[in-house]
Chain A
Amino acid sequence: MTAVVRIRDLEVAYGSVRILEGISLEIRKGEILALVGETGSGKTTLAMALARMLPPGAAVRGYVEVDGWAIYDLPVPVLRSLRGRLIGLVPQDAMAALNPVLPVGAQVAEVFQVHLGLSASEAWARAVEALARVRIPRPEQAARLYPHQLSGGMRQRAVLAMALALNPPVLIADEPTTALDRLTQGEILALVRRLQAESEIAVLWITHDMGVVAALAHRVAVLYAGRLAEVGPCAEILSAPFHPYTEALVRTYYDLIHGPRGEPLYAIQGYPPSARDRPSGCPFHPRCPYRQEICQDRFPEILQRGERIVACYFPRGNAQ
């Protein structure tokens, strides 16, 4: 499968604070890559870095390529004309993506007007189609509504429609279902899987919910304290994680779902570090049950095992 997104040694910092370090990743055509991490791991920063949408104070190093375009080498006018066509963005909070004083349909239609030069009425018709594609009921009426008149789930669908309007090769979804109830969440996930199967779009799905990962992802990338801990196919990662952090995450999840009632839940000791005080060496070492001397000295080398990579001196399972 061809890689639509290529990231090499990406590093993002604000002044002396490094948010992301040494990120190398690929997202392939037709796959859903789940990016997993706790709050503060840098997930959103990675997503924004991909689209070159970081605020002015950010220092970015490394190489980012989307659909053959070297994102950070492009002059701004070219970048702008590509945005929207290259990457569809679905932020965490749908209300944050929608302008409260404009009807939803207009906000989808304008993408067609600007990028395809369609007239207002043509663009509106396409917008209604786009809303229908994400299974919004009675799309002609829904298009005329304002964001606050829609339910959370509908809003998220509308934003999805906006992101997919121009059939971009890449979709970045930043925890889009976190704020929704379980039922609606399931509907959105099913919708995404169906759309993705239809269009072979490459999806970066950011989440901290292992259940979503299990339901949706083809491959998984685990992010901890700004560095990649592990990357690999979903089934393998879930059944035989290499990195102690991944192992802990998976265990927490299974314990939640399948653990015996009445027993205390398994939880990882400690808290994820803030970007300012990251531990030396491997950032997970303070919380790692298998840590040794060397773990706090230097960040481990990246080991590759077939399709999988892991950054650990003592990976679990049969990764030796």
Chain B
Amino acid sequence: MAPITIASGWPIEARRPLWGGIALIGLIGGIALLAPLFGDPYHQDFVHGLSPAGLPVGPTPAHPLGTDTLGRDVLARVALAGRVSLSIGILAAFLSLALGATVGMFAGFYGGVLEAAGMRLTDIGLALPTTLAGLALTALLPAGLLRPVAIITLLFWAYPARLVYNETLRMRRRGFVEAAVAMGEARHRILLRHILPHLRSLLLTYAPMNAAAAVMMEATLSYLGAGVPLPTPSWGNMISEGQGALAFAPHLFLAPAAFLMLTTSGLLLIAEGLKRIHPEGARFSWLAL
């Protein structure tokens, strides 16, 4: 597999999605980072923030993305929500990938009890209906911003575990592990020096997709009230609030939804770009004849 090189080394087909994705993430990440500049997300503006009838207003110069039912500035909230959702999502993605890859790698490499135990756990993890289990775990853990991180990690680790396990197994079967052992290399060194680099490409391609899924999961949990607690904004709980106002203030749904979608599509584009860095043969159809 081709090593990943920077910028000019990337094949043409990979550049568009990669740069597109990076641009999107940069944009949203930038907004999230600059969140404090957009104002106070908790301040209820009774002067300009609500219509005479007490309803939220649409985009105005004072509030570029409008206000919500409590008169709070949507832009400020959505920016802060970006910080919250992104931090939780990325952290959870990283932890789940690390945990899953470790389990899968050890199970696939050492075999025996480790393999049996690891794979049985993975099977259970894969069989659990995700959102349902997420809800169950919510009651299990103490409330707070770390809770969704833990939940997502526990829900997601099984998938990379299975992938890494399969890949490690494939490598083990190819025999070069035995060859290395026969040459006297210590097992854990083989793991580090041979297996891990091989897995690197797999993990690198999987990571952005995992991150996208994690961000979406955080949104789902927050939407259901099981993630980030109000009044701290998360894209998910903002959408939940927005749903109640769909009939008269759709921007309360559209703003956080848009930010969420821009983030996830950015991550997915990066994933697509990374996938293209390992080009496969072009496919063509005989039907053209």
Would you call the interface of chain B mostly helix, strand, loop, or mixed? loop
Chain B contacts for A56, CB-based, 8 A:
284, 288-289
Q: Considering the complex, which residues of chain A in the window 52-73 have a beta carbon less than 8 Å from any beta carbon of chain B?
A: 52-53, 55-56
> Could you give, for residues 263-289 of chain B, a 1 whenever the CB lies within 8 Å of some chain A CB and a 0 otherwise?
000000000000000000000100011
Q: A52 is contacted by which of B284, B288, B289 (Cβ under 8 Å)?
A: B289
Within 8 Å CB of B288, what residues of A? 56
A53 surroundings in chain B (CB, below 8 A): 289
B54-71 vs A, Cβ < 8 Å mask (1 yes, 0 no): 000000000000000000
Q: Point out the residues of chain A lying under 8 angstroms from B284, CB to CB.
A: 55-56
Q: What mask results when residues 25 to 68 of chain B are scored 1 for a CB within 8 Å of chain A, else 0?
A: 00000000000000000000000000000000000000000000
How many angstroms from the CA of A56 to the CA of B286 in the assembled complex?
9
Q: How far is the CB of A83 from chain B (nearest CB, A)?
A: 9
What's the interface size class on A, roughly?
A: under 10
Q: How far is the CA of A56 from the CA of B288 in the complex (A)?
A: 8
Q: Which residue of A lies closest to B289 (CB)?
A: A53
User: When chains A and B are docked, how far (Å) is the Cα of A52 from the Cα of B289?
Assistant: 8
Q: In the complex, what residue of chain A is closest to B285 when comparing beta carbons?
A: A56
**Alpha-carbon gap, A55 to B289, bound state (A):** 8
What string of 1s and 0s marks CB contacts (under 8 Å) between B79-92 and chain A? 00000000000000
Cβ–Cβ < 8 Å partners of B289 in chain A = 52-53, 56
Closest chain B residue to A53 by CB distance?
B289
What is the minimal beta-carbon distance from A146 to any residue of chain B, in angstroms?
A: 22
Cβ distance B288 to chain A, nearest Cβ, rounded Å: 6
C-alpha spacing A53/B287, complex, angstroms: 10
Closest to A76 in B: B289
Which residues in window 34-58 of A have CB below 8 A to B? 52-53, 55-56
Cβ of A55: which chain B residues have Cβ within 8 Å of it?
284
Report Cα–Cα, A52/B288, bound state, in Å. 12
Query: Which residues of B are found within 8 Å of A52, using beta-carbon distances?
Result: 289
Mask, A211-243, CB within 8 Å of B = 1, is 000000000000000000000000000000000
CA distance A229 to B95 in the complex (A): 68
User: Which B residues fall within an 8 A CB radius of A?
Assistant: 284, 288-289
A–B pairs, 6, beta carbons within 8 Å: A52-B289, A53-B289, A55-B284, A56-B284, A56-B288, A56-B289
